[in-house]
Amino acid sequence: MSTKLSFVVTSQLWWVFAAAVFLVSIPVFIEAPLVRSLPWLSLLLTGGWFGLSFSLMSRPVTYLWGDLLYGFSWSWLAGSIYWGWLRWEPLWHLPVEAIGLPGAIWCLQRHWGRVGNYFYLGSLLGTVLTDIYFYLVKLLPYWRQIMQSDNDMVSEILHQAVTQVATPGGNFWAVVLAVTLLLAGIIPLRQKKLHWYAFGGAVLSTILVDSLFLLAAVFA
């Protein structure tokens, strides 16, 4: 019986981890193109995500997934605001992404919504580390140019940015970023807690998302 229970608990941990990875990846494939063409629709969808999360949390059998979706809703809201109206200025990125930070701290102090809030914090940490890399490697000018340029100029700007990344300094900080993300994502998994698996999944999926952006830039 204990073996079966252990299997169920372990399985649930990895389901939460997989869901966290999936929810961080969604904006890359769905929200990003949606928010550029229909920012108000993306923003309004935030209400739907929050509503669905509270609905799921109202039932014990689906509470966990509603909790996780709650954290995702904050990430979706931040992405809608920034990429919809403020994407031309990279310095606004982190302040907007941190829009849910006060609420997350408040909820965690009251032991409410641990899984969702830890997911949000993991996603935010991944964003912070990636943006720090952009600052250190001096990629912000390329960011601004891409957001302000016509589509036919984007490919050339991306290639210039890749050249900057390929410098010794760019490679060094890329390794530091990858190692930091790996440690920040893997170490919490040793706790065998649902909220830490949500956090770890969100952090580690940043590596996947960053890699996809790099590949897109290389082959642009």
Chain segment 96-112, per-residue pLDDT in tens: 999 999 999 999 999 99
CA angle, 191 as apex, 185 and 197 as ends, to 5°? 45
Element (H, E) at 141: helix 140-148
Domain, as residue range, for 130: 2-218
Question: Which pLDDT belongs to residue 103?
Answer: 97
Question: Which pLDDT belongs to residue 190?
Answer: 95
For the cut 70, the answer to whether the pLDDT of residue 2 exceeds it is no
Contacts of 176-181 with CB under 8 Å at 24 or more apart are 177/129, 177/130, 177/132, 177/133, 177/210, 178/207, 180/129, 181/126, 181/129, 181/206, 181/207
Between CA 197 and CA 189 the distance in angstroms is 6
Question: Which pLDDT belongs to residue 44?
Answer: 97
Residue 4 — very low, low, confident or very high, per pLDDT cuts 50/70/90? low
Amino acid at 16: V
Question: Which pLDDT belongs to residue 218?
Answer: 77
3-state secondary structure of 87: coil
pTM: 0.94
User: Mean pLDDT across the stretch 23-36?
Assistant: 86
User: Mean pLDDT across the stretch 14-20?
Assistant: 97
Instruction: Dump strand ranges (E) for 71-217.
Output: none
User: Mean pLDDT across the stretch 52-72?
Assistant: 98
More confident residue, 28 or 171: 171
Question: Which pLDDT belongs to residue 170?
Answer: 95
Amino acid at 147: M
Total domains present in the chain = 1
Question: Which pLDDT belongs to residue 32?
Answer: 83
> What are the pLDDT digits (tens) for 127-164?
999 999 999 999 999 999 999 887 778 889 999 999 99
Question: Which pLDDT belongs to residue 140?
Answer: 95
Q: Pull the structure tokens for residue 25.
A: 């990846």
For the residues of 154-172, what is the DSSP string, one character each?
HHHHHHHHHHHHTSHHHHH
User: Mean pLDDT across the stretch 41-57?
Assistant: 97
Between CA 104 and CA 189 the distance in angstroms is 20
Contacts of 63-68 with CB under 8 Å at 24 or more apart are 64/12, 64/16, 64/115, 64/194, 65/19, 67/113, 67/114, 67/115, 67/116, 68/16, 68/19, 68/20, 68/23, 68/115, 68/116, 68/119, 68/198
3-state secondary structure of 84: helix
Residue 36 — very low, low, confident or very high, per pLDDT cuts 50/70/90? confident
Phi, psi dihedrals of residue 131, rounded to the nearest 5°: -65, -35
Question: Which pLDDT belongs to residue 1?
Answer: 44
> What are the pLDDT digits (tens) for 173-209?
999 999 999 999 999 999 999 999 999 999 999 999 9
More confident residue, 204 or 218: 204
- The number of CA neighbours under 13 Å toward the Cβ of 216 is 9
Of residues 67, 29, 64, the one with CA closest to residue 49: 67
